[in-house]
Chains A and B, each alone.
Chain A
């Protein structure tokens, strides 16, 4: 059974057709990148998958269950988790406190009134594991607003993992990061548990291609190409959409070689 199946989804806002004929399947533990130029419909698609928006037509299946009409919160209980481009954190709490909160809902008696939270060891154990996964355990006592942007993204990621999702949607995880932070976050994404299926929506084409096994390229609301990273890279339609023609692609790669940067 596929972890996630997006079945003939289309979305229009009034007269504006934003998505069309979207058919994507995701295996368990697979890593998929969705790329495409601005306005291609990536964010809309993610919103539909996570339940923030309803598709105009088509259905979403999570491990065989039709979740098309179900709210984001219920989807998260079914194993679908997502990060947001605009971080929504607890700025004045510490990293550990934030994680404890995100770990609580499924695992403890929320309404437990009298026993101090320190006594719930399993909560702190899980929080520790999550924080170690993203490399923030040492910084657990720091106030979230004092962290760097990249570290805050890691907190967000840890929190989204707290519900032990089987499918994780990462919405522009590398946006707004410095090169150093990009490397950090990329390596964290790579090291996430292999049984978690992931969809990464990214602007940073290079990074996305490196993190994912398969790629879907969206353009103007439709799937332009899909396949492995290598296959997609070489497709002329893709290059054209991103980079103009093959010639400009060549001069661009030359330009980057001269700057000493890696080229695909």
Chain B
């Protein structure tokens, strides 16, 4: 579910804006680190998450406004640019926070686990699933809404939409910011479970890429199903043959590419 939040942000940016943002991973990382810093003051996870999300959104907005929007046509440049930023941010994080893994403490309310039938689930994870579902629903509704259509229209035909009086530039920035927000949010929320450590940004970006390739690049549905699939398989294989968990996931990606290069629900 965590993966979904993260991937949804990525897909939002790609599906709506056709921008590939590899820095998304760094957003997560920074969100998490940020969360760690803030939580010592705020003591409330939800609040921290939102602040974290907003903080990252701001960084995202800056990046988009001043840099990325000039390269809307060239995917290759976007990839290379955001790739460079990833390196930069990763090292920055290393220098600021050091190489030790860190975690965010679980909020009291959500500690412990409950029993559902025969299985025990940590409450926090259930909460995560709920948030994930909620976000999915919101996004889905949102995309069908007027706003979503406006953005999509804006991407298809910028001049016309602007001509009709819509502030496309603002919409674009907001969309990008929302995507970044999701990443930052995910970072904070993931804190208690996965923690934060150098290299996390690449790891989660990677899984996200796999999800996006399997599920199809522009599709939120694909992101959702892809995340579920990958998450399940990952957990499954980790329990059986931990060394090969990554390998297994990548094999599925490879198969998908061979059989259906645009992913399960791809829009490209």
In the complex, A touching B, CB below 8 Å? Answer: no
